[in-house]
Amino acid sequence: MRSLVIAGSLVVSLHGLLVVPPAVAQDKTIRLEGDGRLGPVADEHRGTSSAYGYEGTPPSVVPAMIELAGVTSDDVVYEPGCGDARLVIAAIKAGARKGLGVDIDPDLAERAYADVKAAGLSDKVEVRWGNALDVDMSDTTVVFLFMGEAFNLVMRPLLWQQLKVGARVVSNDFSMGDWKPDRTVRVETPVRTYTLYLWTITQEVKTRAAAQP
């Protein structure tokens, strides 16, 4: 999901001011269960994505992202700003062991939960509402991104610090500053061309992260 509002307490202004979250996540997200309705606690936050812009990953691009990530049966996948969870659902269908989608928009979180249930994957996919940057990614092996370059730059130090060596990150359309991708793939659609980037967490990346203040 691409959205200008990217996560609850995180603020990325249109002038480029970044408020960087702490490296150690304190998960305050809310897991959707039962009928999947969040209730009154979410009411004031509804319409977030419609107000600021939402673009889901096109269905024709999803398979290319799954392939680029090299999803296997050992993988635990995570998508911040999951929208309707189409990428997480596709990753599980491609063989991933477990998935998590988080969205700041309660309407989209509820839709994601409904789509996961409809796909019969509630036992493998967890949907949460809240700040995607609060999630502990230490067990994650694949992260999918379609959130914008500003978000990616905020996410980058968390990826470096929390993900284990060998984990992969695939971003749709947006790079990660001076972190050079391992591969770049372009996908043509009737509307436009999408550029996909793949990074792998290496020991060099972990050492670089440890050296940062």
Cα 102 to Cα 6, 81, 134, 203: the distances in Å are 11, 6, 10, 28
In this prediction, residue 79 has a pLDDT band, given cuts at 50, 70 and 90, of very high
Q: Tell me the pLDDT tens digit for each residue of 17-68.
A: 334 454 555 678 999 899 888 877 777 777 766 655 678 899 999 999 999 9
Planar angle of CA 52, 11, 197, nearest 5 degrees: 75
155 vs 117: CA distance, rounded Å: 29
- Mean pLDDT, the chain, integer: 87
Condensed to tens digits (0 to 9), the pLDDT of residues 191-207 reads 999 999 999 999 999 99
% of residues, the chain, pLDDT over 90: 71
pLDDT for position 52: 57
Question: Which of 102, 100, 112, 1 is CA-nearest to residue 57?
Answer: 1
Coil/strand/helix, residue 18: strand
Domains of the chain: 30-211 (3.40.50.150)
The residue ranking higher by pLDDT, 12 or 28, is 28
Per-residue pLDDT of 131-180, as tens digits, reads 999 999 999 999 999 999 999 999 999 999 999 999 999 999 999 999 99
